[in-house]
Structure 1
Amino acid sequence: MDCPDLTPAHRSRVLCIGDSYRRLTGRALVPGGGDPIDTLWSAPLAIVAHGTEPDPVFFFGNRAALALFEMDFDAFTRLASRFSAEPLLQAERMRLLARVSRDGIIEDYAGVRISATGKRFHISNAAVWNLTDGAGTAVGQAAAFATWQ
């Protein structure tokens, strides 16, 4: 699966994923050179990001994430992020997002997510962080995880 074509505005939003992580931690989210969007897209860890809408919608999922969620990029980027968690775990998800909003980043999240076909998978050691643009304006939240089963 190739990296989708992105508009300049969408590319700018996606670039905030790695830039925000680096500002918060001092580390690169994904080591490598070349086009940072291609690096995020092909990373071996799952990377997802949603916006700041009242019911946030994913605007990015990389190749690893799309395989886990069993969706293509177009379908994934129309999905409200709350639908990635089981309905009974939504309160836990809301507590997580509130903690991230308060602290900027957490790197110890674990939880159950659900794919488009109903498969449940457990993620652990996930980082979840706030996304901001170069001016410090909030543009969403992102998550990255390399451990799932």
Structure 2
Amino acid sequence: MRRNSFPYSYWAKILGVLIIIAGIFSFFQQYHKKGVYDFNELAVGLSWGFVFIFFSKEKTDDEMVRSLKFKALATALIASFSITHLYNYFFLNWHFERGRDVILSISAYQFLAFTLMTATAYFYYLKYQMTLNEGE
């Protein structure tokens, strides 16, 4: 029996899209109620939605798709970590003074959402490139 490395069925992508829509709706709902943009709440919805989208099976789930997903996730993790680090350093803590200020950082949900969005976009780009190469 062959074990699949992606735990969700293909239709879990629909659940992921619904979670993302609910997260975006909740984000704007909170803005209208409180007048504050809560990007952590938005990041929670995006994170959960992209977990279901990225880690669900594809219609044709073979070794190539798994390889492309791994490559996309590995690349997105390195890129997201680097961008997050630079953003934290240059934009959130550029005027930090030791002993007086508190170190600021984006939340784990924001990092996860950014990483999974990047990985999903890069995976579909790689998949598109593979279909172009197969057609030649």
Report TM bin, short chain.
under 0.3
TM score, norm. by length of structure 1: 0.25
**TM-score scaled to structure 2, two decimals?**
0.27
Structure with higher strand content = 1
Greater relative contact order structure (CA < 8 Å, 6+ sep): 2
Structure with the largest fraction of helix: 2
Which structure: larger Rg?
2
